[in-house]
Amino acid sequence: MAKKTLNDLGDLKGKKVLVRVDFNVPLDKKTGAVKNDRRIRAALPTIRHLLDAGASVIAMSHLGRPEKATPDERKNLTMDKVAAKFGELLTVPVAKAASDVVGPAVTAAVAALKPGGVLLLENLRFDPREQKNDPEFAAALAALGDAYVNDAFGTCQNDKDTSMVGLPANLKAAGKPRAIGLLVAKELEIIDGLMTEPKPPVLGIMGGAKVSDKIAFINTLLAKVDHLLIGGKMTYTFLKAQGVDVGATRVGDEEIEAAKPLLAFVGKKITLPVDYVAAKSDDLLQTQVCEGAIPAGFEGVDIGPKTIEHYKVQIKESATVIWNGPLGWFEQTAFSRGTQYIAEAMAASAGVTVVGGGETAEAAEQFGFAEKMTHVSTGGGAFLAYVEGKKFQSLAQIDDK
């Protein structure tokens, strides 16, 4: 059943709308600059829709994990740079609220907001109550607005975040309207369609490091896809679990345990790379393409040329392709071929192509293929959890139409 969306919020003229966005964007470690603004761009249609309807917007997000940051790292986690980027992309000035997330200065800034105005609150996680579904924090946020929009797909799996669950619950009690935004609506529609009636043949491509983190996702995919291609670091987990020597590639014991139940699918639904690029651990310039065992002192860093060719054919022959996780160490140009060629083949496909996961989306974008995919999800953990069929408390808060 479809959730209430922006058009169900009623007349918005002169209303102040609280919009939970996911502006948890990657930052440059040294300068704190926004390294990738994809998540900010993805929220713009909702913000524009609300402003065009005569509302003002109080946007709010978390940024990073301040509770785990050093004082220096924490300085980079204020929303100042995000607010500047948001304003630049929206081409409307965005005011950044005071350094407290809620409080008298914020209440005053909200009172001064005029229709068409946009205010971005400080990093929600600067207030430790954000991650505790705290009723008082929910009430303080709720007092700022007349309506609530959840357009933070990437955060929808967080059941304890006040701004995602406690806040809309508080607004419901006050009889104020709540809806999902255009981004969340689009993510749900595409992923629901993908999981209920994907057009066959369906291909899954899994990369990234940890099998253990993705086991439920892999099992869900196995039930839906005709083939599942493996790449990335998890390749070497599968190889080691099969008893193949992976040289200096580090593979944890718990990873091997997680991969073991999947070995029964290898050679059937699951395809492992037939070759891989290995680099010398203490001199990454020394590389070789391996089939079978990886020599001592070398570690697997990318899928090999035969595998790339084989995977490209599989992509071409599929009507639906779902990809999560880089195929190699793509941040290093020399080891990015697997990821780049897979992204390129998906971009060239006439079928439905969906990319999920923060790093995977970044890779698709870095190589210039993001716009050519059917959909690039803004969710990392949220994408995996939603595909797995997890029920989100945040979405349960928004009424069906």
Window 18-57: residues binding ligand 3PG (CB under 6 A) = 22, 24
339 binds ligand 3PG (CB under 6 A): no
The strand ranges marked E within 155-237 are 178-180, 202-206, 227-230
Stretch that binds Mg ion, among 29-37, 39-47, 309-317, 376-384 (CB under 5 A): 376-384
Rg of the chain, C-alpha, whole Å: 23
Number of residues that bind ligand 3PG (CB under 6 A): 9
> Least Å distance between CB 357 and ligand 3PG?
10
From the list 4, 210, 312, 390, the catalytic residue is 210
Tokens of 24: 């948890």
Q: Is 360 annotated as a binding residue?
A: yes
Contact 216, 389 (CB under 8 A): no
357 binds ligand 3PG (CB under 6 A): no
Contact 348, 325 (CB under 8 A): no
Cα–Cα distance measured from residue 191 to residue 46, given in angstroms and rounded to the nearest whole number: 19
- Residue showing the smallest CB distance to Mg ion in the complex: 381
Compute the CA torsion angle 241, 300, 384, 263 (nearest 10 deg): -20
Q: 166-173 and 135-142 are packed helices; what angle lies between their axes, rounded to 10 degrees?
A: 60
381 binds Mg ion (CB under 5 A): yes
Tokens of 347: 């971009």
Residue nearer to Mg ion on the CB measure, 17 or 382 = 382
Stretch that binds ligand 3PG, among 89-97, 153-161, 188-196, 337-345 (CB under 6 A): 153-161
Residue nearer to Mg ion on the CB measure, 45 or 381 = 381
From the list 39, 96, 178, 240, the catalytic residue is 39
- The DSSP bridge pattern shows strands 298-303 and 276-280 to be antiparallel
User: Is-catalytic flag, 358?
Assistant: yes
> Least Å distance between CB 187 and Mg ion?
15
> Least Å distance between CB 162 and Mg ion?
17
Residue nearer to ligand 3PG on the CB measure, 22 or 122 = 22
Residue 151 phi, psi dihedral angles, 5° rounding: -120, 30
Window 88-147: residues binding ligand 3PG (CB under 6 A) = none
Q: Is the peptide bond before 326 cis (omega within 30 degrees of 0)?
A: no
381 binds ligand 3PG (CB under 6 A): yes
Measured CA distances, 304 to 230, 338, 384 (Å): 12, 7, 27
- Side-chain-side CA neighbours of residue 214 (13 Å): 24
Q: Is 10 annotated as a binding residue?
A: no
- Residue showing the smallest CB distance to ligand 3PG in the complex: 24
Per CB under 6 A, the list member of 66, 117, 145, 154 interacting with ligand 3PG is 154
Looking at residue 27, what DSSP letter applies?
B
User: Catalytic residue positions?
Assistant: 39, 210, 358, 381
> Can you give the binding site for ligand 3PG, defined by CB under 6 A?
22, 24, 65, 154-155, 158, 358, 380-381
